[in-house]
Amino acid sequence: MTRGGGPLLELAGVDAFYGRAQALFDVSLTLRRGEIVVLLGRNGAGKSTTFKSVAGLVTVRGAVRLRDRDVAGLAAHRVARLGVGYVPEDRQIFPHLTVAENLDIAVKPGPDGGVHWTRERLEEIFPILAPLRRRAGGALSGGEQQLVTIARTLMGNPDVLLLDEPSEGLAPAIVKALAGLVERLRDEGVSILLSEQNVRFALRVADRAYIIDSGHIRYEGTVDTLRGEPEIMKRYLAV
Amino acid sequence: MDNGMNRRQFLTAAGAAAAGATLGPLVPGPRAYSAEPIVVGFVSIFSGRVASLGETGYRGLEFAIDEINAKGGLLGRQLKAIKQDSAGKIEDAVRVARDFVTRDKVDLLMDHSSSREAFAVREVSRDLKKVTMVTASETTELTADPKARTPYTFRAARQTLHDGIVGGIYAAGVSKAKGMTKWYSASPDYAYGRASTEEFFASLKASFPEMQIVGQAWPKLFEPDYTAFLTKMLQDRPNACYSALWAGDLVTFVEQGGLYGLFDQIAFFGINLADYTILKALKKVPAGMHSGSRYLTNVPDTSANKSFGERYEKKYKELPTNWSQECYTGMQFLAEAVRKAGSTKSDDLVKALEGLTVKAPWGVDGTVTLRKRDHTIVNYAIGWGQTQPQAPWVPKTSSVPWDKILAQEEAYLKSKGWV
Amino acid sequence: MDLGAFAQCVSSTLCVVSQLTSALITGLILFLVASGLSLVFGVMGILNFAHGSLYMLGAYLSFSLLRLNFGVATVAAALGVAVIGLLLERVFIRHVYRAPLLYQLLLTYAFILVLDDVAKLIWGYDFVSMGVPDAFRRPPIFIGRAPVPAYYMFIIVVGVVVAVGLWLLLTRTRFGRIIRAAADNPTMVAALGVNVAAVSAGVFVLGSFLAGLGGVLAAPVRSIFPGMGFSILVESFIVVVIGGLGSVAGAFVGALLIGFVRAFGSVAFPALEEGLVFMLMAAVLLTRPRGVLGVGKEL
Ligand SMILES: Nc1ncnc2c1ncn2[C@@H]1O[C@H](COP(=O)(O)OP(=O)(O)O)[C@@H](O)[C@H]1O
Ligand SMILES: [Mg+2]
């Protein structure tokens, strides 16, 4: 699918704005097919804004390229139909809909027209989904909600998954399971851009990392290189 | 849009400007009217379910003004009306009346509001000492209570007490003949509806003491749905029902009552039924309902009344309403007073208006009078009769001589402590 | 207050059946209008003041189309209002979704004035009365000793069918689920690939259709006049407050509650009928700010 040899997703010189306030400054990053890339940064650094820039939920200047096509400024539903699956940080499950209904809303074919994920397949990967089917979204625990929102996004067969702080507020055991899940998804052909404050979790699953601070990208490198830079981690991350 | 007046004003102004620009300097000849026009400020309801109040009332006023202007105006001046919508809101009616006097400097006020607003506008008239002709509010108390009377307010509209007295006497006759002792009422819940109902029953009771009131419904003004009241009435099983509902409210009530077959079981006495807007709005005018006359070309059955109806219909392509004739008559009173007084000063006008008699199509002997004591109109035609489903809708009406009405009125006012 | 009369009423089938009819027709017509208002508010966040005017247009259209045939008039008038709703939404209202509340109110309030004037131009300033169609001009149906007008039966049947249909639509179809989800979180729905603008237009059309249908059903038994939309708009707001903002089930409960309060309130508290509805609203606001079912948005 990746035509022209470019990365699957690429931000080049992106500025983002909330009204007049600028939240991102000249942000550039790439995600290649089959990669797990993590965006690290403190609270308020600009991680979520970066994701929203891709998902079409914030005003941007600069280029957001998906498979070499510029999607900056497209409406959110169009970006989603081009294969971007966005899982926001605060979960945003539909509280009055059952789990089954939450999943049903998101059903659509992938960008290549194929259907990779079905409810049956998802229930196989997320064994806890099946018994929750008839429960209202609002009645689930935080961990359950996180899994349902990820599963919900997968129903739309994305090939890029944007996971905004998936481990936030989850018990350690669940974070561990989550790491396994992320890797499994990558193996199933979904490329993943992840944001995290939980450095341990991030470094465990990701191939490459970016560090963002005050809306600027301050670091780019492989996870292994970053491990050898405790100074940088101290300066930009709460470690 | 509906306000032809503004368009006409605009055309007049535009025409005058054009004429002045081209001919003005060349033709210094005499102008027909050297003075400013005499202006009447008309406040009423032009929107909502009773827009016909304002619309048809204003036509009556305009009709009178056009006739007067065609004969040369008043004191050498043309007459002119300006109108404004109060939307039936008390505060808006008060504001409009005040603005008319203080900003537009009108010479005369015509208050064609419902009783809800009329009491408040009366206070404006008192406060600003501006002669005000009330042409719609029929509530007796407006002029009858001596403690609240103002020198400047006059009423050329029916008074509920007069209609109620005749209605009560008429209903007593029907009740005796048919043994209808159990009475009900369904009237709007505000001053007018309450007063009208009380006065009707007082008169009925005076002539037919066996009657008793078994229930009363008080829907709010402009109630959209009367079903709850109608079903309650059906259960209470009265023989007859009096109603002071009016305009669209009355039509809706009759339509909804018809669905329950209400009028097969209960004799209906609607004081406001026999007015053309209502008779025409009803898809089927039920036969055998009892109604007071509002405006009918045959009440009184005189050539003057018939001719008024015909002239009006020719101009407006519809028959006048009771409101049209009241505004028409109100304007006749004002015009005659201006002529007599030779001025538009309030105190001169008050003197001229008190006890004034003018010709009017609905006068029982061709004239009506503004009674000196309480500034309200007397000697107008009041008839009660039964409906039929086609024109002339209320073919025969019976009436009561005015000396009898006045005697009974006096007794009632005494009981209220108003004389 | 007259509790004796109330007790007497409750013990007589005649009284119960008639007041029940009254409660149902008032409540169901109100439900049709209020459910649309609530849906539009829930999904689009727009408090559409012109919603009552759509009810008025339904009544007028049906009045004009009655010449053809009652069935045709009913369907065509309601659909006609739906089309008018679509035009309003596409041409005007969609531009103010993100605008400050005041702009939305100004725009939709302006439509009340414009549509009232349009009605005046076309149908005249005065009220018109349609009367029940000939098919329903027959003696009332008797349930026990209690008469129920044939046309009221019709209103009740149509109202209930539409209410059930709406419930099935919202719970059993994907479109319905999307509507409910969008009422909670339209941004998330869009991020899942759903064209929320199209859904909004659809909801607006649906709401307009329901308001129009309310007007169509009411037309034969209420007088029709420019401005008639306003009082039902106020009542619909009350329903939406009672039922919970954005909740259709709440609107159903709220509308019927008002119907019952009116019908039985006129027996028990004849002097207070009007105040009762507001008291009901105040009580709900104080105890359950999310509405009786507790599922609406907080005020
Ligand atoms: N909806 C918003 N309106 C205005 N400013 C916002 C909004 N969301 C985030 N911001 C601001 O943008 C900056 C980046 O925020 P965000 O991207 O949410 O950071 P992170 O996800 O890294 O915690 C912060 O300064 C934040 O205050
Ligand atoms: Mg964030």
Q: Whose CA is nearest to atom 6 of ligand 1?
A: A18
pLDDT in tens, C84-142: 999 999 999 988 887 888 888 899 999 999 999 999 999 988 888 888 888 888 888 88
pLDDT attached to residue C296? 60
What amino acid occupies position A218?
R
Ligand 1 pocket test, candidate residues A15, A17, A18, A20, most atoms within 8 A of CB:
A18
Residue written as token pair 């000249």: A26
For residue B380, what are the β-bridge partners? Answer: B363
pLDDT in tens, A39-78: 999 999 999 999 999 999 999 999 999 998 999 999 999 9
Instruction: Set out the domains of chain C in order of their start, with CATH numbers.
Output: 3-287 (1.10.3470)
> What is the mean predicted confidence (pLDDT) over C15-38?
92
Ligand 1 pocket test, candidate residues A11, A49, A212, A218, most atoms within 8 A of CB:
A49
What amino acid occupies position B306?
K
Q: Which atom of ligand 1 is nearest to the CA of A58?
A: 1
Q: Are C193 and A86 in contact (CB < 8 Å)?
A: no
Q: Do domains B35-160+304-378 and B162-299+381-416 have the same CATH topology?
A: yes
> Beta strand pairing status for B384-386 and B397-398?
antiparallel
Top mean pLDDT of B366-380, C44-58, C111-125, C251-265 is at B366-380
| Structural tokens at position A199 | 């450095």
Residue B403: alpha-carbon gap to chain centroid:
22
Q: B30 pLDDT exceeds 70?
A: no
| CB-CB neighbours of B4 under 10 Å | 10
Mutation to test the C interface, candidates B56, B189, B231, most C Cβ within 10 Å: B231
Q: Where are chain A's structural domains?
A: 4-237
Q: Determine contact: B283 vs chain C, CB below 8 A.
A: yes
How far is it, in rounded angstroms, from Cα C130 to Cα C107?
31
| Structural tokens at position A3 | 């035509």
B-chain residues within 8 Å CB-CB of C154?
Answer: none
How far is it, in rounded angstroms, from Cα A202 to Cα A205?
6
Q: What is the complex's ipTM, to 2 decimals? A: 0.92
| Structural tokens at position B319 | 């028959």
- For the structural domain made of B162-299+381-416, what CATH number should be given? 3.40.50.2300
Topology of domain A4-237 in CATH is: Rossmann fold (3.40.50)
The rounded percent of chain A whose pLDDT value lies above 90 is: 78
CA A46 to ligand 1 centroid distance, Å: 6
Q: Are B49 and C225 in contact (CB < 8 Å)?
A: yes
Using DSSP's 3-state secondary structure scheme, residue C243 falls into: helix
| Structural tokens at position B375 | 């500034």
Q: Whose CA is nearest to atom 4 of ligand 1?
A: A18
- CB distance B292 to B317 below 8 Å: no
> Beta strand pairing status for B397-398 and B212-217?
unpaired
* Residue in B closest to C114 by C-alpha: B1
Out of A132-136, B254-258, B358-362, C277-281, which region has the weakest mean confidence (pLDDT)?
Answer: C277-281
Q: B32 pLDDT exceeds 80?
A: no
Q: Determine contact: C75 vs chain A, CB below 8 A.
A: no
Q: Are A101 and C177 in contact (CB < 8 Å)?
A: yes
- Residue B382's alpha-carbon distances to A213, B143, B241, B329, in angstroms, are 90, 19, 20, 16
Q: Are B49 and C149 in contact (CB < 8 Å)?
A: no
**Selection from C54, C25, C206, C200 nearest residue C115 by Cα:** C54
How far is it, in rounded angstroms, from Cα C247 to Cα C292?
10
Out of A229-238, B6-15, B147-156, B259-268, which region has the weakest mean confidence (pLDDT)?
Answer: B6-15
Of the candidate CATH numbers 3.40.1160.10, 3.40.50.2300, 3.90.600.10, 3.40.50.360, the domain formed by B35-160+304-378 belongs to 3.40.50.2300
How far is it, in rounded angstroms, from Cα B209 to Cα B203?
10
Q: Where are chain B's structural domains?
A: 35-160+304-378, 162-299+381-416
pLDDT attached to residue C88? 95
pLDDT in tens, B58-104: 999 999 999 999 999 999 999 999 999 998 999 999 999 999 999 99
Q: C272 pLDDT exceeds 80?
A: no
Q: A2 pLDDT exceeds 60?
A: no
| Angstroms from A208 CA to nearest CA on chain C | 26
Q: Are C19 and B249 in contact (CB < 8 Å)?
A: no
Peptide bond into B25 cis (omega under 30): no
pLDDT in tens, C131-173: 888 888 888 888 888 889 999 999 999 999 999 999 999 999 9
pLDDT attached to residue B26? 36
Question: How many contacts, defined by CB atoms under 8 Å, are there between B and C?
Answer: 137
CA C189 to ligand 1 centroid distance, Å: 21
CA A213 to ligand 2 centroid distance, Å: 12
What amino acid occupies position B121?
V
